[in-house]
Amino acid sequence: MSSNTTIERELLTKPGDTILETIEFLRMSQAELAERIGKTPAKVNDLISGKAPISINTAMQLEKVLGIDMQFWLNREMHYREKLARIEQEELLEKSIDWLKEQPIRELQKFGYLKTRTVGTKMVEECLQFYGVASPVQWENVYVNNYTHTSFRKSSAHKTLLGSMAAWLRIGELKLLKQQLPEFRKDRFKDALSEIRTLVESQPEDFPIRLQKLCEQAGVALVYSHSLPKAPISGAARWVGGNPLIQITDRYKTNDHFWFTFFHEAGHILLHGKKDIFIEELEGIENDQDKEQEANNFARDWLLPDSFLEEIENGRIDEKIVRRIARNYATHPAIVIGRLQNLDKIPHSFGASLKIKINLDYFIEH
């Protein structure tokens, strides 16, 4: 506790002090006051010590007995409680300064979520406002306990990772709030996926915006955000405020990774429950492995089903064969390359020229 808050607390006078001064002036004991206003001596003692607030009813009783207007007592009580709350809030912020060590402060400043530059109570307050929570206790309940297992949370080595994960999740929520979403319709989302498949094949430059709009029309929020250094997440799927939220990062820079991540998260939305939360590729997050496999299968079947392997004769693979498979399955050659690499049919050095580099910076910032 700083010297300033200590002094403020010491100088703060309770309404009970005024009650005590007044009854002393009137040569009235606390027991007599209790009898005159119809309360027990213990209740009067609570009023004088500040444990119990002065209610409207009590203020009316004090007006009759002590001859001081009820509005005086109500104003005295309100000003005392307000000042006390501000002192307690400042003390809480002071105790929470160490919590800032868990937060990705530099990144939050860089992306414009934190304006304060100096570590202190003002930065703590701004950080709490960013998360929309009252204290680090609520922050942990909302953004950490719901996502990670106990042993992971208790490890001091993972503190900064958890802070980065929480910040990343919150950024997704704030971006969702900027969208005007209709009610989610599963059938509309399935129809949208068919249109989205044409974006996969043609890979237009404005595909991130067109993809967002198609999702939005079905009631699905799709947001792009930076992958924070200490939380290398590729994507996540969850429900926020009655709508599904798919959040994708700029961690991978090629179109095959991007589209697999998107369809994987779309699979979670369509196949799994509203209470399920899936955060991909983050140590300590225990996603349901059966559901992860279902989402993998969903993405695979939408992008390029296993039957494409029948078109590979004698195990021979070259770029011409890759392009032919892509045409036959109305997909992009990068998707074929990605699937073959995932199946260990070709080295990761093969087919790099067929992949398209993805840069989401513009779409993240707008």
Instruction: Quote the pLDDT of residue 316.
Output: 87
pLDDT at 150 exceeding the cut of 60: no
Kindly state whether residues 48 and 118 are assigned to the same domain: no
Instruction: Please state whether 279 falls in left (phi above 0), alpha (psi between -120 and 50) or beta.
Output: beta
Kindly state whether residues 165 and 236 are assigned to the same domain: no
Percent of the chain with pLDDT over 90: 80
Q: Which of 141, 160, 177 is the last residue of a domain?
A: 177
Structural domain for 84, as ranges:
3-95
Question: Quick check: 276 and 290 in contact, CB under 8 A?
Answer: no
pLDDT at 229 exceeding the cut of 90: no
**Mean pLDDT, to the nearest integer, of 109-125?**
95
**Mean pLDDT, to the nearest integer, of 75-92?**
95
**Mean pLDDT, to the nearest integer, of 116-137?**
96
- pLDDT, one tens digit per residue, over 250-261 is 888 899 999 999
Q: Which of 149, 177, 205 is the last residue of a domain?
A: 177
Kindly state whether residues 20 and 62 are assigned to the same domain: yes
Q: What does the buried/exposed string (b/e) look like for 284-318 if buried means 16 or more CB atoms within 10 Å of the residue's CB?
A: bbebeeebbebbeebbbebbbeeebeeeeeeeebe
**Does an H or E element contain 201, and which?**
helix 186-202
Instruction: Quote the pLDDT of residue 1.
Output: 55
Kindly state whether residues 197 and 245 are assigned to the same domain: yes
Kindly state whether residues 264 and 288 are assigned to the same domain: yes
Q: Which of 129, 160, 177 is the last residue of a domain?
A: 177
pLDDT at 184 exceeding the cut of 90: yes
Kindly state whether residues 228 and 337 are assigned to the same domain: yes
pLDDT at 198 exceeding the cut of 90: yes
pLDDT at 283 exceeding the cut of 60: yes
Question: Quick check: 168 and 228 in contact, CB under 8 A?
Answer: yes
How many domains does the structure of the chain reveal? 3
